[in-house]
């Protein structure tokens, strides 16, 4: 019983090491570390498989070894399994990558209005559909601004609206001060560059990483104390490449959501790359909304302003 299952035990120890030392996996070769961290929660699925093999083999060694990755995974992600949402909050925000190829933009706009958020951020807005979204959202949101391919709709007045340079050569980020009944909030909307997994180049994320650095600098110099970032960051909170942003802000899903809140792809969500991050604001609840005509799910959060 102790000598059987040594191969299974070895796999379990290797899995534990990958989970525990994921931040030490280098990005020098094909951004392997970032790729690993994007889908890190899914490595937990290997634990029940290894456990089943250990039981079939009746191996005490393998059973003990399987405890290692189970403990490490629970330490990393166990906090996301429970319910953390609370009542209260005075501002509801929503963000959605509407997809430039969306076959039903009018239906998507209706779904967003029905969600009842106070502030709505849209990403991947093609110029050909910007007037269409503006018309569909006008009745619910009196104030709005579109900068490049991102837009912000609000029930409250917008001030200091400007594009944010994230070093892409065209506008995919913006900033506005929203005058809510509870004070001003700086709202950033961003759509960071897409990433690709290529056989000959690995995880190609260099442009996204540079854009994240520029966005992090802009937020760090924001004069308002209450800051909300809404957008498609094309990366998860585990991805070290987004540290310039994530190190200074909290994820509403991590702080007040139920579960992982995966948002992409909409047909079978595997990663949360659509984010609501806050600084100087208390998250009360966070959730994903039903599928629209986009390949992303909308995500929303209820916030308590100071």
Write the burial class of residue 45 (CB in 10 Å: 0-12 exposed, 13-18 middle, 19+ buried).
exposed
What's the pLDDT tens digit per position in 89-143? 999 999 999 999 999 999 999 999 999 999 999 999 999 999 999 999 999 999 9
Average pLDDT of the chain, as a whole number: 94
Phi, psi values for residue 110, rounded to 5°: -60, -40
Whole-number CA gyration radius for the chain: 21
Element (H, E) at 176: strand 173-180
Asked if 252 and 287 touch (Cβ cutoff 8 Å), the reply is: no
What's the pLDDT tens digit per position in 241-278? 999 999 999 999 999 999 999 999 999 999 999 999 99
pLDDT at 103: 96
Tell me the average pLDDT across 160-165.
98
Tell me the average pLDDT across 196-219.
79
Residues sharing a CB contact under 8 Å with residue 270, sequence separation 6 or more, in sequence order: 39, 42, 262, 264
Residue 251, strand partner residues? 277
Does the structure show a pLDDT above 80 at 49? yes
Question: Of 216, 210, 217, 174, nearest to 193 (Cα)?
Answer: 210
Asked if 212 and 233 touch (Cβ cutoff 8 Å), the reply is: yes
Tell me the average pLDDT across 75-102.
94
Question: Of 171, 122, 136, 132, nearest to 296 (Cα)?
Answer: 122
pLDDT at 201: 46
What's the pLDDT tens digit per position in 17-47? 999 999 999 877 777 888 889 899 999 999 9
Residue 258, strand partner residues? 83
Q: How confident is the model at residue 1 (pLDDT cuts 50, 70, 90)?
A: low
Tell me the average pLDDT across 211-237.
97
């Amino acid at each position: 019983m102790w000598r059987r299952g040594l191969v299974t035990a070895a796999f379990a120890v290797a899995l534990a090491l990958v989970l525990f030392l994921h931040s030490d996996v280098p990005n020098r070769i094909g951004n392997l570390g970032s790729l690993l961290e994007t889908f890190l929660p899914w490595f937990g699925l290997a634990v029940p498989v290894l456990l089943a093999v250990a039981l079939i083999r009746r191996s005490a060694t393998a059973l003990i070894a399987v405890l290692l990755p189970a403990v490490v995974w629970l330490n990393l992600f166990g906090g996301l399994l429970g319910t953390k949402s609370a009542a209260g909050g005075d501002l509801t925000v929503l963000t959605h990558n509407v997809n430039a190829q969306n076959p039903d933009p009018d239906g998507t706009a209706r779904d967003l209005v029905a969600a009842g958020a106070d502030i709505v951020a849209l990403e991947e807005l093609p110029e050909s559909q910007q007037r269409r979204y503006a018309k569909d959202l006008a009745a619910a949101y009196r104030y709005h601004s579109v900068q490049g391919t991102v837009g912000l709709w609000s029930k409250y007045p917008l001030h200091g609206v400007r594009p944010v340079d994230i070093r892409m050569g065209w506008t995919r980020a913006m900033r506005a001060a929203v005058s809510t009944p509870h004070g001003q909030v700086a709202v950033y909307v961003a759509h960071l560059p897409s990433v690709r997994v290529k056989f000959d180049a690995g995880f190609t994320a260099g442009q996204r990483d540079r854009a994240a650095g520029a966005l992090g600098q802009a937020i760090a110099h924001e004069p308002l104390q209450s800051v909300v970032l809404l957008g498609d960051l094309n990366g998860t909170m585990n991805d070290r490449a987004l540290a310039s942003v994530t190190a200074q802000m909290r994820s509403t899903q991590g702080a007040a959501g139920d579960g992982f809140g995966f948002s992409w792809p909409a047909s079978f969500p595997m990663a949360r790359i659509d984010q609501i991050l806050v600084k100087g604001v208390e998250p009360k609840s966070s959730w994903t909304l039903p599928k629209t005509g986009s390949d992303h799910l909308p995500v929303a959060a209820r916030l308590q302003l100071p």
